[in-house]
Structure 1
Amino acid sequence: MSSINFNANATAALQTLRDVSSKLNTTQNAVSSGLKVGSAKDNVAYWSISTSMKSDNKALGAATDALGVGAAKVDTAYAAMDSAIDVVNEIKAKLVTASESSVDKDQVNLEVKKLQEQLSAIGQAASFNGENWMVTATKTTVVDGFIRKDDGTVKINTANFEAASYAMFSTIAGGVGSGGILSAVMTIALTSAATQGKIDGFLTTVETALKSLTKGAAALGALSTRIDLQQKFAGKISDAMDAGISRLVDANMEEESARLSALQTQQQLAVQSLSIANSSSQSILSLFR
């Protein structure tokens, strides 16, 4: 039966066209954005997971940047301590030279004083962004990671350096360092009347300072290694998170391309089907001629 009030064939064709057009729009959005899950309505679970992972990855990137700052601090402190070791070794050599009875100890003392001034200069220059680990009395830290715990809470990991134990000086006033592991070295002063026993005492002081400087440099070296390893690890974790996010929300472009071609064909056929269905109404007019 044909009716001029309702065309069942045209209605069915129209519903098909609407369904195909909706799917085609979704596929076109996926192709243009590269995402199969672009918003929460596309897939609530995947969208929620990917959003959290993106946030964590961004925080991990910030932690990696902070690691770079920490590495610069460690490198600055290590360079200062390594240079200080060289200078203290020079002082040691001067003291050995002063042990020779024919050497003018006053002249040697002038050289020692210049080397002590150099130590103060090294300590004062060992500053990065206003922070000087070689002239401090507090424990210092560097950010070395960001983690999300099982309960969903987040935590910033830090690595510590006991600057109070390894600082070359506790203070530098008027360009002269005092306190710290080089405190006794800065008091060394030779005179022409200095006995061998006095010089031996100075040598003991220098050896003690060298041991402390060596321990400090070793601690900085270990911290630098940890930072390097953490930077590499953070890079791998970030790549893994990017890959995980991609698997959840990125569109498979090969599949989307094939689907787009199929849907475009279906749309053309649906339009043709609707046109045929509508033409039947026009045929009714011929019955009344």
Structure 2
Amino acid sequence: MASINTNYGAMVAAQSLAATGRELANVQNRVTTGMKVSSAKDNGAVWAIATTQKANAKALDATINNLQRSQSINDVGLAAGETIMAALTEMKALGTAIEAATAAGSSTTAYVADFTALSGEITAAIAAANFDGVAAFGASPPAVPAAQTAAGVQTSIDAWASALQGLGTTSKSLERQITFNTKLQDALEAGA
């Protein structure tokens, strides 16, 4: 007759130790990942919802990046616009001086040279106003004044002011959209 001697107390202790080890592994996993449910095995329904939320949060990353890129394009345009408006203001004064000198029969050569130089600055600012290969003012920016008169320059000032107003409004709108999407992403990540 064969006999098997068992230590019942040792078996219970071994089972308790194994259960404690499993629980410790679960707690360590939760602490490491920061998630209460880290796999479908933990809770399938909650895991599926959390996975969808994580995917949505990652999709918002691309949206936020695109919004920030658009905002950068607008900011470049606004910076160039400040230079352009300053040059146009000087050109308007020069246009008035050219008209007055012409009426008095005086030489306008110096005024015209300054006017032409400022026109070149505007053209350079327009060319430089691009971000990542995208022109901030699009394919057809407002015109650089050709007529060396105050009225001709004023027409350009009005056109540029309108263009810059549009960029400013768009920039503010993009800022609000970025803020909203960032908060939405934070909420999705907190809930996941």
Number of the residue aligned with 1:68: 68
Number of the residue aligned with 1:188: 147
How far apart, in 2, do the equivalents of 1:22 and 1:45 lie?
A: 27
Residue by residue, what CA displacement relative to the aligned partner does 1:235-270 show, whole Å, maximum 9, x if unpaired? 22222122212xxxxxxxxxxxxxxxxxxxxxxxxx
Q: 1:49 to 1:223 in 2, by over 3 A?
A: same
Number of the residue aligned with 1:129: 132
Residue 116 in 1 paired to residue 112 in 2?
no
Q: 1:53 to 1:76 in 2, by over 3 A?
A: same
Quote how far apart the aligned CAs of 1:45 are.
0.4
Quote how far apart the aligned CAs of 1:114 are.
0.8
Contact 2:95 2:153 survives alignment (8 Å) = no
Number of the residue aligned with 2:87: 87
Contact 2:87 2:121 survives alignment (8 Å) = yes
Q: 1:45 to 1:23 in 2, by over 3 A?
A: farther
Number of the residue aligned with 1:273: none
Number of the residue aligned with 1:217: 164
**Matching residue's letter, 2:179:** K
Quote how far apart the aligned CAs of 1:204 are.
2.6
Where in structure 2 are there 5+ consecutive unaligned residues? none
Quote how far apart the aligned CAs of 1:27 are.
1.9
Contact 1:30 1:36 survives alignment (8 Å) = no
Q: 1:126 to 1:188 in 2, by over 3 A?
A: same
Secondary structure of the structure 2 residue equivalent to 1:182: coil
Number of the residue aligned with 1:203: 150
Secondary structure of the structure 1 residue equivalent to 2:162: helix
Number of the residue aligned with 1:24: 20
**Matching residue's letter, 2:29:** S
Q: 1:64 to 1:239 in 2, by over 3 A?
A: same
How far apart, in 2, do the equivalents of 1:29 and 1:56 lie?
A: 29
How far apart, in 2, do the equivalents of 1:26 and 1:52 lie?
A: 28
How far apart, in 1, do the equivalents of 2:130 and 2:55 lie?
A: 33
Aligned length: 184
**Matching residue's letter, 1:113:** T
The structure number with the bigger radius of gyration is: 1
**Matching residue's letter, 2:186:** D
Quote how far apart the aligned CAs of 1:40 are.
0.7
Q: TM-score of the superposition, structure 2-length normalised?
A: 0.82
Contact 1:64 1:231 survives alignment (8 Å) = yes
**Matching residue's letter, 2:109:** D
Higher strand share: 1
How far apart, in 2, do the equivalents of 1:44 and 1:117 lie?
A: 66
Higher helix share: 2
- The CA RMSD over aligned residues, in Å, is 2.7
How far apart, in 2, do the equivalents of 1:22 and 1:104 lie?
A: 101
Q: 1:103 to 1:86 in 2, by over 3 A?
A: farther
Q: TM-score of the superposition, structure 1-length normalised?
A: 0.56
Percentage identity across paired residues of the two chains? 24
Matches within 5 A, 1:112-191: 112-134=115-137, 136=139, 167-168=140-141, 181-182=142-143, 185=145, 187-188=146-147
Residue by residue, what CA displacement relative to the aligned partner does 1:261-289 show, whole Å, maximum 9, x if unpaired? xxxxxxxxxxxxxxxxxxxxxxxxxxxxx
Contact 1:97 1:103 survives alignment (8 Å) = no
